[in-house]
Amino acid sequence: MLVGRVVGTVVATQKEPSLEGLKFLLLKQLDVHGKETGASIVAADAVGAGLGDVVLYATGSSARQTRVTENRPCDGVAMAIVDTLEVNGQVTYDKAGDER
């Protein structure tokens, strides 16, 4: 899995029928210190994430193993809202205070 911040959304009216009802989030990937790596991805939302949330996301076939993405042509899913990242005993990200 990877960690990313929700920075926006993608809206698409004309789409493959199996995509109906999915919400598409724009994520910027973060490193272990909570800083952006430069990479971004579009992920389906399986957890009710909002703008600014730091999420755990899965890619590839594993992204189809959630209730909302099962059997859909979805290769990225935000599936958990991160409370804390802790590296070598130091909290590098805390949802309560955001990027410490």
Residue in 21, 71, 96, 97 binding its own copies, rule: CB under 8 A: 71
63 binds its own copies (CB under 8 A): yes
Each residue 23-62 as x (binds its own copies by CB under 8 A) or -, in order, gives -x-x-x--xx-------xxxxx-xxx--x----x-xxxxx
CB 35 within 8 A of CB 87: no
65 binds its own copies (CB under 8 A): yes
Pairing of strands 36-45, 84-87: unpaired
CA distances from 75 to 16, 23, 35, 44, 64 (A): 14, 13, 23, 8, 7
Q: How far is CA 90 from the centre of its chain?
A: 23
> Which residues make up the interface to its own copies (CB under 8 A)?
1-3, 7-19, 24, 26, 28, 31-32, 40-44, 46-48, 51, 56, 58-67, 69, 71-77, 79-89, 92
